[in-house]
Amino acid sequence: MALESAEGDYVTIKALEDGVTIIGLTRGRQTKFHHTEKLDKGEIMIAQFTENTSAMKIRGKAKILTKHGDIESE
């Protein structure tokens, strides 16, 4: 997938339990954590991939909705 097509994509994350952690990871030569959010059960976060954010790591039970489909983390 080209960078241009990944940038701007949104994902919606819904916490299915308290304490779900969302970690944004940087792009470039070295991947680093650059942002962390905590969600409690029922909270929703809408996140966007940008020129700085290339990946997201989700810890805890959550439902993730993307244009490519839905998935649940455990």
pTM recorded for the entire structure = 0.78
Give the pLDDT of residue 5. Answer: 52
Domain span at 45: 3-73
Kindly report the number of other CB atoms within 10 A of residue 57's CB atom.
12
Domain count, the chain: 1
Answer with the residue of higher pLDDT: 26 or 65: 65
Cα angle 10, 12, 13; round to 5: 140
- Report the CATH number at residue 33: 2.60.40.50
* Amino acid code (one letter) for 34: H
Q: In this predicted model, what pLDDT tens digit does every residue of 1-47 receive, in sequence order?
A: 444 455 568 899 999 999 999 998 887 777 777 789 999 999 999 98
**In a 3-state reduction of DSSP, which class is residue 63?**
strand
Give the pLDDT of residue 33. Answer: 73
